[in-house]
Amino acid sequence: MTILNDILTEKKMEVSKLKKDSFIKGPEKKVPTFKERVQQSSHMNIIAEIKRASPSKGEIDLGVDPIVRAKQYEQLGAAAISVLTDEPFFKGSMDDLRLVREAVDIPILCKDFIIDPIQIDFAKANGANIILLIVAALSQEELVELYQYAKELNLEVLIEVHNEEEMKRALGLNPEIIGINNRNLKSFDVSLATTEKLAAMISNADTIIVSESGMKTKANVELARDAGAKAILVGETFMLAEDLAKKFQEFQVDLT
């Protein structure tokens, strides 16, 4: 059993309890799209994550105030904010996402393990602008169905891959945004070589490549940039940074 199997087992139970009619929909906020933010930026676009805990690290910052943290990320120039909404493995919640939505005016990624359209409705009702679809968690049929459903709802979709086979499946959708996750879901090892190897498979220059996980140093970010990434997704390093502003500045490398 991999951690993904464990997470998906939990997720199926969670989904069975979600009821569409019971969602309390917050007021919709008009914010720029992530794609627009990337197109207008000449430096590395940062998706800064609110991450209380993780399977690989355990507790990171259980008591983080999502409103304070989101405002800091926005002020420091984040292109988007990722909110981990999974509770059992990451100690996040949809309440976190809703609070962040009220606090900031930049796009928000609902970082969860989506296996059913009802989760997309739930994410949208709580203010998400971008949803994550993890290729490893879905059959191709499910991936296509969920992708199309999210697009119909005017959501942006970050399609996440870990290896060549998943990249081929993702490319079949001709997606606008592809996330290459550098963390091996079995071993939790992180290797930026994953971004180098998989980014080389993308021939469409308009596809926005997001290099995810394991960004610790400026050299890591430059390597991702040189491989073709226009954006990075950073959790742990920001959550544990002693000087968040300095770390942010270090990661906003020039893209030109």
Ligand X SMILES: O=C(O)c1ccccc1NCC(=O)[C@H](O)[C@H](O)COP(=O)(O)O
Burial of 89 (0-12, 13-18, 19+ CB in 10 A): middle
- Name which of 9 and 40 has its Cβ closer to ligand X: 9
Q: How far is the CB of 24 from ligand X (least distance, A)?
A: 27
Catalytic: which of 213, 220, 230, 247?
A: 213
Give the max Cα distance, the chain. 48
Q: How far is the CB of 47 from ligand X (least distance, A)?
A: 9
To the query of whether residue 213 is one of the catalytic residues in this protein, the response is yes
- Name which of 160 and 176 has its Cβ closer to ligand X: 160
To the query of whether residue 51 is one of the catalytic residues in this protein, the response is yes
DSSP symbols for the chain: --HHHHHHHHHHHHHHH--GGG--PPPP-----HHHHHHT-SB-EEEEEE-SEETTTEES-TT--HHHHHHHHHHTT-SEEEEE--STTT---HHHHHHHHHH-SS-EEEES---SHHHHHHHHHTT-SEEEEEGGGS-HHHHHHHHHHHHHTT-EEEEEESSHHHHHHHHTT--SEEEEE-B-TTT--B-THHHHHHHTT---TTSEEEEES---SHHHHHHHHHHT-SEEEE-HHHHT-SSHHHHHHHH--B--
Closest to 250 in 3D by CA, of 44, 85, 108: 44
To the query of whether residue 57 is one of the catalytic residues in this protein, the response is no
How many beta carbons lie within 10 A of that of residue 10, not counting itself? 15
What are the structure tokens assigned to 12, written together? Answer: 């199926």
Q: How far is the CB of 66 from ligand X (least distance, A)?
A: 15
- Name which of 45 and 181 has its Cβ closer to ligand X: 181
To the query of whether residue 184 is one of the catalytic residues in this protein, the response is no
Catalytic: which of 45, 54, 129, 181?
A: 181
Please report, as ranges, the residues that interact with ligand X according to CB under 6 A. Answer: 3, 49, 51, 54-56, 181, 183, 185, 188, 212-215, 233-237
To the query of whether residue 141 is one of the catalytic residues in this protein, the response is no
- Name which of 176 and 212 has its Cβ closer to ligand X: 212
Q: How far is the CB of 29 from ligand X (least distance, A)?
A: 24
To the query of whether residue 166 is one of the catalytic residues in this protein, the response is no
To the query of whether residue 216 is one of the catalytic residues in this protein, the response is no
- Name which of 6 and 152 has its Cβ closer to ligand X: 6
Catalytic: which of 156, 160, 166, 196?
A: 160
Catalytic: which of 11, 54, 82, 111?
A: 111
Q: How far is the CB of 232 from ligand X (least distance, A)?
A: 8
Q: How far is the CB of 27 from ligand X (least distance, A)?
A: 28
- Name which of 213 and 252 has its Cβ closer to ligand X: 213
Which residues are identified as catalytic? 49, 51, 111, 160, 181, 212-213
